Amino acid sequence: MKIIHGVHNFKPKAKPVALTLGFFDGVHRGHKLLIDKLIKTAKEIHGVSVVLTFDSHPLRIIAPDKLPPKIMTLTQRLEYLEELGVDHIIVQPFDDKFAEITADDFLNEIIRKKINAKAIIGGYDCHFGKNRKGNLNYLKKFAEENNYIFHEVQPLTIDNKVVSSTEIRKAIQNGDFDLAEKFLGKPWTIRAVVVKGHRIGRILGFPTANLDVGFLILPKEGVYAAFAAIDDVRYNAIMYVGTRPTFDDKPANLVCEVYIMGFSDDLYGKRLTVRPIERLREDKKFDSPEELKEQISIDVNKSFEILNKK
């Protein structure tokens, strides 16, 4: 798979292009249907499959107050799209200038002239162009007028719910990791770099890795049994999401920390992949550090029992 950063760097292909576009957060099972149709169409026209996606969610520019947290990092999105067999991915920076491109200009200047697509695959919730004016019907009409092959992919429904990034975010925030996995088609994981924290866990005898989760989604506050992978080696762990109320009376920023059982090496700067499995308890303020330490011991033992059954 070849990754092209910016539409302006995309070079015309000798073979016909089959194209689809979207943010693809989670690269879930509904997205997989779309990508499968894209690849099948590319083969039928003896061409190449191209995905046009964005480096950040368009709502970051269009409506920051409505910006949802990300299910996964850009790197993960690209990895999963590559696993599905896509030939080329155009990662377009979504900035103020790009947000001003009208739906008509997007279709004519980018899809027709720059990418020169011969087939377009549209998802049911497709939107593009300034003020999200472009939609599936707009795309379909454009394909008909320009004699393009056009395929519409219907939404995937599981348990009477349309599989979507929104539903997956709800499942994650509710701690329903089994439902998130059912919709994603794979376990949901947090991938983040370890940064320096307050070293409270080390003082308590349970050194934790403080994760820089950025704009990634997190489950509700609490303690979770989890798996943590370091350099492809998996360990049992507990994950904490909260504000450290035992040590800070004032409202603090939400933190995500992981205690990895049987691991004591320096992790600063390392990238961890954490897979929460089950919520153990809610976050709470303890009367003393000693009381918290006793509870963490209970959490570790409970997590160990849960994870060893997986």
* pLDDT > 70 in the chain, percent: 97
- Mean pLDDT value across the chain: 93
- Say whether both 138 and 241 belong to one domain: no
Which residues make Cβ contacts (< 8 Å) with residue 129, sequence separation at least 6? 101, 102, 103, 104, 105, 106, 107, 138
Q: 200 pLDDT exceeds 90?
A: no
Handedness of CA 40, 32, 104, 113 (dihedral sign): negative
- Say whether both 117 and 47 belong to one domain: yes
Under the banding of pLDDT at 50, 70 and 90, the label for residue 201 is low
Coil/strand/helix, residue 294? helix
Handedness of CA 35, 105, 11, 62 (dihedral sign): negative
Under the banding of pLDDT at 50, 70 and 90, the label for residue 148 is very high
Average pLDDT over residues 133-156: 92
In a domain, 179, yes or no: no
- Say whether both 27 and 152 belong to one domain: yes
| The two structure tokens encoding residue 204 | 């308590």
In a domain, 226, yes or no: yes
Coil/strand/helix, residue 8? helix
- Per residue in 18-65, pLDDT (tens digit) is 999 999 999 999 999 999 999 999 999 999 999 999 999 999 999 999
Which residues make Cβ contacts (< 8 Å) with residue 290, sequence separation at least 6? none
* Residue range(s) defining the domain that contains residue 209: 189-307
Kindly give the pairing relationship between strand 157-158 and strand 161-162: antiparallel
Lowest mean pLDDT among 85-94, 216-225, 264-273: 264-273
- Say whether both 25 and 78 belong to one domain: yes
pTM recorded for the entire structure:
0.93
In a domain, 169, yes or no: no
How many Å apart are CA 168 and CA 158, to the nearest integer?
A: 12
Domain harbouring 216, CATH code: 2.40.30.30
Structural domains counted in the chain = 2
Lowest mean pLDDT among 95-99, 184-188, 191-195, 263-267: 263-267
In a domain, 28, yes or no: yes
| The two structure tokens encoding residue 43 | 């083969």
